[in-house]
Structure 1
Amino acid sequence: MKTQRDPRLDRSRAAILSAAVELLSEGGVQRVTIEAVTARSGVARSTLYRHFRNNTELLAAAFRELLPPLPEPDPALPARDRLLQLVLDQADQIAHVPAMAAVTWMAASGYSAETPSAGERTRLDALRQHIIDNYRRPFDPVLTECLSDSEREIDLALARLIGPLVFNALVTGRPNDREFCTRLVDEFLAATARSR
């Protein structure tokens, strides 16, 4: 006999995640504390810990809610088409939540405006690993295929591809439409072909 799930658990989890996403959107990673989330959600601290073991799990779930992981492109497609699909998907995420997408990529690259404490560093490292797994890793196979052995600096390649998308969204206001993304990918591939 199957036990029915208590709907209160779903409601409390939804309230916690909603509060965490709001705080993340308003003030970034530093705003998403257990205290702030419980205060905003109205959910008890003990209930929060039933859903999330720690702040890192809560942050990872909030990132997933705000920016779902990039889908893996069809491996049967040519490398250029896979890369273009990933860039288009990233552009779409950036269009919906530009500041958060920028924070996501800064966290994935290890950027920090201040030196964190040892405990905070451990938490940020775990969050960074989650971000890499969900937002950066899908690029790895296709970039490995596109780059020569001597220039397999995937972080630098990603900066050349994703940096302009974030810059457009946050600074110029130009659209990251299919035309722009196609030009970005084709120029990137042409530059890597010239360096071979």
Structure 2
Amino acid sequence: MTTQQTPGRRDPRLDRSRSAILSAAVELLAEGGVRQVTIEAVTARSGVARSTLYRHFPNSTELLAAAFQELIPPLRPPGSGSPRQRLLRLVLAQAEQIERAPALAALVWMATIGLSGPPGPDDGERSRLTALREHVVDTYRRPFDAVLADCLPGGADADFAASRLVGPLLFNALITRRPSDEPFCARLVDDFLATQAS
């Protein structure tokens, strides 16, 4: 007996298989980092066939990017307001994400600035990390880049500026266990803007 698909309706098996694949990838990412999220590991954990996985995710980089987005949703653009207001909203949103998943947020930012994985990966791993870095930059860094463009003098290093804002949030979450609350974030933004003005 064949199953007939009603036009315009999605097969629920596709949703179930995608959910199983993504859950397995998220678990592997949380447990062991980027290197653990392989096609073999995900298919073994999810119980979904490799061919089905490739229907949802054409390659391991897209699978890994989807797992990152599941764990740490992308930051929303901060909307309107002064550069300070926009930057503060963005830093507060980043602090909240880091609070929820500090190690993964650190991993995302390391991928953004090109520090993922130990030195000397093979060519396949290097291209995978490069593709992931490009995805992370597009997804997680663009909101910062847009706001920093209004705060930085021409020719300033946006990577360094972003790390000066996000670095203390990661340090609080991973090392000091101090909260990155609104007063802390406001001070961080004000100190940052004061150095840009001088």
- Cα shift at 1:117: 1.1
Cα offset, 1:113, TM superposition: 2.1
> SS state of the match for residue 149, structure 1?
coil
Which residue of 103, 106, 109 maps to 1:102? Answer: 106
Distance in 2, matches of 1:129 and 1:35, equals: 24
Alpha-carbon separation, structure 2, partners of 1:2 and 1:84:
47
1:77 alignment partner AA: G
* TM-score, length-scaled by structure 2: 0.94
Which residue matches 2:83? 79
Aligned counterpart, 2:97: 93
* Equivalent pairs, count: 192
Q: Percent identity?
A: 65
Scaled by the length of structure 1, the TM-score of the pair is 0.95
Show the 5 A alignment for 1:13-28.
Answer: 13-28=18-33
Measured against aligned partners, the alpha-carbon deviations of 1:99-148 in whole angstroms (never above 9, x if no partner) come to 00000000110014221111211111111001001111111121111111
CA distance in 2, matches of 1:2, 1:183: 56
1:67 aligns with 2:68: no
What is the letter of the counterpart of residue 167 of structure 2? G
State the match for 1:169 in structure 2.
173
For residue 3 of structure 1, report the CA deviation from its aligned partner. Answer: 3.2
Question: For 1:149 and 1:168, how far apart are their aligned partners in 2?
Answer: 30
Question: 2:62 maps to what in 1?
Answer: 57
Q: CA RMSD in A?
A: 1.1
**1:4 paired residue number:** 9
How far apart, CA to CA, are the structure 1 residues paired with 2:9 and 2:112? 39
Question: What residue identity is the alignment partner of 2:130?
Answer: D
Structure 1's unaligned 5+ residue stretches are: none
Runs of 4+ aligned residues of structure 1 deviating over 2 Å after TM superposition are: none
